[in-house]
Structure formats: structure tokens, C-alpha cells
Amino acid sequence: MKIAAVLAVICWAHLVSGVTHSLQYFYTASSEVHSFPEFIAVGMVDGLQILHYDSNSKQLVPKQDWVNKAVDPQYWERNTGVAQGTQQSFKANVDIAMQRFNQTGGVHTVQNMYGCEWDDESKAADGFDQYGYDGEDWLSLDLKNLRWISTRSQSLSTQNKWNSDKADLEMYKNYYTTQCIEWLKKYLQYGSSTMGRKERPEATLHQKGTGFVCHATGFYPDAVMITWKRDGEEMQEDVAVGETLPNEDGTFQKRAVLTVSAEEWKNKQYTCEVAHQSGETIILDKADIKRSNPDSVPLGPIIGVVVALIVIAIAIVAGFVMLRKKKKPGFSRANSKYPTKFTPVNI
């Protein structure tokens, strides 16, 4: 399953049940992306960023004040060192991947996302761990059968090597079924006042070119449903629903674009419905439409969204802490002293 698809599933489950929570870690290493950090690490709980590290600042920092209550006093100093080691490991992994694809230069990324989700009603839990290279699937952990699965021939050697390490596989199982869930519950406890809030979306309807854009913004949590209807019937065709995107202030935004002819728009009754757990469904119709005016759109929020998107979208990753010396080329494994996947404390 694609990494983006995993994120979509998590978002949908959270909206439907209202009790599915997730802890996710994203690391990304890139090459030849000018004016941008070559390594980024991000931790998120229910879509809210809780920590950040990048190769420019070289410091692991909290993004929410309450996170400090959930960790020990030495957490940031200790794990800044871990993140710096991971940065070097990821940089090496980019070079290794390029070698496997016979590439000598250009823009490339090694990506990985891992974490867990937990339903506080049914108590069901699951974990996920996926790697990508240049936006394509690379490796994924089959937690049920406890094995790594390669999706490309260039990662077969890594798959075979990791599957032969039974001790590591058992530690992964323990992490995803126990430790990750425990940390998720701890973060939910300390961040309850922030993550338990519900902020109602602001919805607008406007025309842009040949499309009619239904836009919702300023909502929290991130699960929202935008539905276009024609004469009261939900539409599946002619509608493009965008991804849920972060705003600079910690809220989210999303849009759904309807493409119909001017004659259809005039002769039919079209409505857009925005459903969010913060309140009643918002319904917009022709009377609410506004002509978009690019010159009137404030630049501040746009810049904030772009920055947040770059940090999160490019940072779909998790990696290794230390390079083992005197090893043949291959993705580096975590040093046993700092088991990246075994305790979230060590990112």
C-alpha cells in the first residue's frame, strides 16, 4: 500500500469512529534540494506535530508545550544526538540507493514512515513501517507475518538481510504491539487539552476557471468530509477531493472541486456539504458562491501552508541511527544502544 494511502486510511478511520488515534514518525533525507535541509525528522500524534529536527538547526525541539511533561528532562539533549546520528545514516542511505539505481546525481529522497494506531473504544491496535525512494514504495513491514516485503528489485538484498535477523523482527513486533501504543496513550493523556479540542471549519464556495471550489479551513481535528450533491444526490463523478493540508496555526484545510458546464450549474441544484465532528454539517449552495480574486488572497497563510507542507510532505520517513562499520553497501541498521524503532524516545 502506498504511504499516502496509509495516511488516507488513518484519516478516514478517525472521522468515522472518532476514537482511532495514531502516533507517526516521519524522516526524510534528500540530495541536491537547494535551500532546504538535507534531513528532516517529524513526530506527530493524531496529525498534530509534536517534535521536529532538521539538519540545519541540528536540534530536536518540541512543537507542543505539553510534550515536555511526557518526557524526562534529558530527552531533548539525548535524542538530539540520536537524530544527528540518524542524519548521517540517512545521508549514506541516499548514496547507497543511488548506487543501486545506477544514478550519479540529481534530486533524490529516501523516505520512511512508521508508527501505530489505536482505537480507544474497541482497543484494536496496529503498526506500520514503510520505506520509499523517490516517491515510490521501497520496503514495508508485514507485521502480521513478521517479515519485510520488497516492492522493487533494488531492495531485495535489504529485504533478505532484514528478514534473516529474527531478533530484530521480534523487537519490531514488541515495539509496534506494546511500546508504541504505550507512548501514544501517554501523549494522548498529556496532550488531551490540545488534541481534545474541536474547532469548527470555515467553509466557502467560489468559482475558479471551469471548476467550483468548496473549501474548508481552520478545523481541528483533521478528519473532515466534503461532499458535492446534485439535486440532493451525492456525486461521485466530476468531483476531485484534495488532501487534508496543515495550516500554520495547527488547524487544517481541505477542498473539493466540482467540474460541470455553466449550463448544468445553472439548471441543476448543486450543494456542498462539509461534515466535521465539531458541529452540524455546513451546507453551501449557489447563493454562497464567491468569485475568486487571487490579488485579494493574503500571502501570510499561503506561505505558512507551503512551509508546513514541505516539512511534512517531504518528511515521510524513518531511518537508522548509526552506521555499522566495515559493512558492505546496504541500508544501515540501528545501533543497539539507540534502537530507533524500539522506543519512540529515540525517534
Q: What is the pLDDT of residues 51-102, one digit of tens each?
A: 999 999 999 999 999 999 998 888 899 889 888 888 888 888 898 999 999 9
**Residue among 50, 326, 1, 27 at smallest CA distance from 188:** 50
End-to-end Cα separation, the chain, in angstroms: 23
- Per-residue pLDDT at 291: 54
Cell of 347: 525517534
- Per-residue pLDDT at 68: 92
- Strand pairing of 211-219 and 202-208? antiparallel
- Per-residue pLDDT at 59: 95
The runs of H, that is alpha helices, within 18-137 are 67-70, 75-100
d(CA 338, CA 86): 10
What pTM does this model have? 0.70
Cα 180 to chain centroid, rounded: 16
In the chain, CATH 2.60.40.10 covers 198-308
| Cβ atoms of 268 and 231 closer than 8 Å | yes
Q: Residue 266: helix, strand or coil by DSSP?
A: helix
Phi-psi region of 216 (alpha: psi -120 to 50; beta: other; left: phi over 0): beta
Output phi, psi for 321, to 5 deg: -85, -50
- Per-residue pLDDT at 195: 84
The domain made up of 198-308 is a member of CATH 3.40.50.10490: no
Number of other CB atoms surrounding residue 30 within 10 Å:
23
Query: Which band of pLDDT confidence, cut at 50, 70 and 90, is reported for residue 250?
Result: confident
In the chain, CATH 3.30.500.10 covers 3-194+311-346
| Cβ atoms of 38 and 91 closer than 8 Å | yes
CATH of domain 3-194+311-346: 3.30.500.10
d(CA 4, CA 12): 12
- Strand pairing of 225-230 and 270-275? antiparallel
- Per-residue pLDDT at 306: 41
Burial of 144 (C-beta count, 10 Å sphere; 0-12/13-18/19+): exposed
Residues 183-226 have pLDDT tens digits of 999 999 999 888 888 999 999 999 988 899 999 999 998 889 99
d(CA 120, CA 26): 23
Cell of 155: 531492495
Cell of 32: 541536491
Query: Which band of pLDDT confidence, cut at 50, 70 and 90, is reported for residue 312?
Result: very low
